[in-house]
């Protein structure tokens, strides 16, 4: 691979690295695992980069490679701890405590998202990134209708986790 | 406002909990080796190919006794040549199928297709393993049978066997072969089960959505 290609790739990745960090944030729950996944996504992006033709935006292309790596290709390292061990606030709080401070509410929400399975996390990720259902369905390889149905189920599931 | 909308508000501003990498930090990452399941699967398939090629070839080239026995069994040399060609032909066919299958795996595909192509590759390796196990099983039974009937030492020993004892000898021979094949098969099940457990789970989840 020539230096020019390498340079353009590194510059683009540096600019859009937040996307990769966000994928890692959702699929890992400790510093080492985050770095491992970040590294694997970077390698997969770099390997696929020569075929990136620029038909889509670099960031859109990154979503797909990032999620595919996290869901399918990445072999969880030994350092990845189980989501059950996630350090956060006490999970099963009483529902009347739910409207506590915003920070606590967010912690609970993030923890609840970590409880979801890999596919549900992918849906949540794309939703949080403001992707429409067409793009969500294309990224995951499911129909648009099913993407909507699943998204609604995920929302209900989150509600149930938060208000047991 | 539902839960995800509350999260969405925070999602884009919460960038402070990880280290922002500089261009200098990113360059070394490109030199690192991937540890993806596709790479592991690739190494396993190479190991499978080599293992079974060696198992089939080494005894023939390193043991005169084995070669002589084979040549006696296949007294017609055309049969032996034909079988050798067929064996290596099948190996080449598997190499070709695996190569094509690996080429079809693309990280830029959608998640479901990517999983499908990995599962397809794994199935080709599985077929190769099953093919070799069947051949090993048939060879073992054939070898035992041939030894019982043609080996002078064994033949003199079983000469005095009653038909019941002979039936027991055959039964033991078949059971040993089945146990051998089962052990090897379970070994593969564990390896692939461990490697592809998560992928299978996610693939089933996507499949379930389309039902």
Element of type H or E holding A144: helix A144-162
- Any idea what the CATH number is for the domain that residue A103 is in? 1.10.10
Structural domain boundaries enclosing A135: 85-164
Does B208 contact A at CB distance below 8 Å? no
Reported ipTM: the value is 0.82
Q: Residue A56 gets which letter from DSSP?
A: S
Say which of B23, B36, B112 has its CB closest to residue A40: B36
Whether residue A100 is found in the same domain as residue A64: no
**Closest CA of chain B from A22, distance in Å:** 8
Q: What Å distances lie between residue B60 and B54, B64, B75, B92, B193, CA to CA?
A: 10, 7, 16, 19, 34
Q: For Cα atoms A122, A124, A125, give the angle at the middle one, nearest 5 degrees.
A: 65
Give how many domains chain A has, as a whole number. Answer: 2
Shared-domain flag, residues A4 and A56: yes
pLDDT tens digits for B65-100?
Answer: 766 666 666 666 677 677 778 888 898 999 999 999
CB pairs under 8 A between A and B: 149
Q: Which residues of B touch A130 (CB under 8 A)?
A: 8
CATH number, residue A18: 1.10.1740.10
**Cα atoms in the Cβ-side hemisphere of radius 13 Å centred on B122:** 22
Say whether B110 and A155 touch across the interface (CB within 8 A). Answer: no
Whether A103 and A122 share a structural domain: yes
Same domain, A65 and A93: no
Whether residue A75 sits in one domain with residue A91: no
Partner-chain residue, chosen from B34, B38, B111, that has the shortest CB–CB distance to A141: B111
pLDDT value at residue B85: 83
By the 8 A CB rule, do A20 and A69 touch? no
Does residue A90 sit in the same domain as residue A67? no
Which residues from chain B sit within 8 angstroms of residue A138, using beta carbons?
A: 110
Among residues A81, A112, A142, the one where a domain terminates is: A81
Distance CA A77, CA A65 (A): 19
A74 and A9 in a common domain = yes
Domain boundary, last residue among A29, A62, A81: A81
Q: Do A67 and B118 touch (CB under 8 A)?
A: no
Please give the model's pTM, rounded to 2 decimal places: 0.81
Residues A44 and A110 in one domain: no
Helix, strand or coil, per DSSP, at residue A87: coil
The answer to whether B191 contacts chain A (CB < 8 Å) is no
A156, A103 contact by CB (below 8 A): no
B6 contact residues in A (CB cutoff 8 A): 105-106, 109
Q: Which residues of A103-125 are buried (b: 16+ CB within 10 A; e: fewer)?
A: ebbbbbbbbbbbebebbbbbbbb
State pLDDT tens for residues B105-144.
999 999 999 999 999 999 998 898 888 888 888 888 877 7
Mutate to test the interface with B, among A45, A51, A75 (most CBs of B within 10 A): A75
Instruction: State both tokens at B131.
Output: 């093919």
Chain A touched by B193 (CB under 8 Å): no
Q: Are residues A132 and A158 in the same domain?
A: yes
Q: Are residues A108 and A158 in the same domain?
A: yes
CB A136 within 8 A of CB A126: yes
How many Cβ atoms sit within 10 Å of the Cβ of residue A141? 17
Name the least confident of A29-33, A153-157, B65-69, B143-147: B65-69
**Is pLDDT above 90 for A70?**
yes
Average pLDDT over residues A91-118: 72
DSSP codes of every residue in A26-41: HH--SHHHHHHHHHHH
Same domain, A76 and A107: no
* DSSP secondary structure, chain B, as one string: --HHHHHHHHHTT--TTSPPPPHHHHHHHHHSPP--HHHHHHHHHHHHHHHHHHHHHHHHHH-HHHHHHHHHHT-SHHHHHHHHHHHHHHHHHHHHHHHHHHHH--TTS-HHHHHHHHHHHHHHHHHHHHHHHHHHHHHHHHHHHHHHHH-HHHHHHHTT--HHHHHHHHHHHHHHHHHHHHHHHHHHHHHHHHHHHHHHHHHHHHHHHH-
State whether A119 and B21 contact (CB < 8 Å): no
CA torsion, points B189, B190, B195, B201, in degrees to nearest 10? 70
Residue A92, pLDDT above cutoff 50: no
Sorting pLDDT into bands at 50, 70 and 90, what band is B17? low
Q: In the listed set A81, A110, A131, which residue is the last one of a domain according to the structure?
A: A81
Of B36, B111, B198, the CB nearest to A139: B111
CA angle in degrees (0–180, nearest 5) for A143-A147-A152: 150
Q: What is the Cα–Cα distance from B100 to B103, expressed in whole angstroms?
A: 5
Same domain, A16 and A65: yes
Name which of A28, A68, A148 to mutate to probe chain B: the one with the most chain B Cβ atoms within 10 A of its Cβ.
Answer: A68
Interface test with A, best of B111, B116, B119, B208 (most A CBs within 10 A): B111
Asked if residue A96 has pLDDT above 60, the reply is no
């Amino acid at each position: 691979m020539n230096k020019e290609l390498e340079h353009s790739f590194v510059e683009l990745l540096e600019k859009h690295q937040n996307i990769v960090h966000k994928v890692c944030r959702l699929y890992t729950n400790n510093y080492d695992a985050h770095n491992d996944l970040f590294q694997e996504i970077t390698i997969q992006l770099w390997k696929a980069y020569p075929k990136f033709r620029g038909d889509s935006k670099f960031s859109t292309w990154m979503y797909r490679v990032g999620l595919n790596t996290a869901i399918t290709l990445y072999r969880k390292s030994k350092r990845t701890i189980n989501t059950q061990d996630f350090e956060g606030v006490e999970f099963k709080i009483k529902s009347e405590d739910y409207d506590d401070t915003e920070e606590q509410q967010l912690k609970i929400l993030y923890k609840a998202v970590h409880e979801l399975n890999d596919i549900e996390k992918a849906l949540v990720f794309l939703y949080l990134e403001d992707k429409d259902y067409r793009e969500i369905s294309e990224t995951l390889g499911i129909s648009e209708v099913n993407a909507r149905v699943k998204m609604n189920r995920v929302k209900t599931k989150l509600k149930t986790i938060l208000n047991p | 406002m539902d839960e995800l909308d509350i999260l969405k508000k925070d999602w884009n501003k919460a960038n402070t909990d990880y280290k922002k990498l500089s261009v200098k930090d990113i360059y070394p990452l490109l030199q690192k080796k991937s540890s993806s399941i596709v790479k592991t699967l690739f190494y396993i398939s190479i190991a499978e190919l080599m293992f079974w090629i060696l198992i089939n070839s080494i005894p023939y080239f390193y043991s005169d006794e084995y070669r002589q026995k084979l040549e006696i069994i296949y007294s017609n040399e055309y049969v032996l040549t034909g079988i050798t060609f067929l064996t290596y032909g099948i190996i080449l066919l598997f190499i070709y199928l695996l190569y094509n299958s690996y080429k079809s795996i693309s990280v830029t595909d959608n998640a479901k297709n990517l999983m499908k192509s990995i599962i397809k590759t794994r199935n080709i390796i599985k077929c190769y393993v099953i093919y070799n196990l069947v051949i090993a099983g048939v060879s073992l039974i054939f070898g035992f049978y041939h030894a019982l009937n043609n080996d002078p030492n064994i033949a003199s020993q079983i000469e005095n066997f009653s038909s019941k004892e002979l039936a027991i000898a055959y039964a033991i021979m078949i059971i040993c072969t089945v146990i051998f094949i089962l052990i090897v098969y379970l070994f593969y099940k564990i390896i692939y089960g461990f490697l592809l457990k998560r992928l299978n789970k996610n693939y089933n989840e996507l499949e379930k959505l389309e039902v």
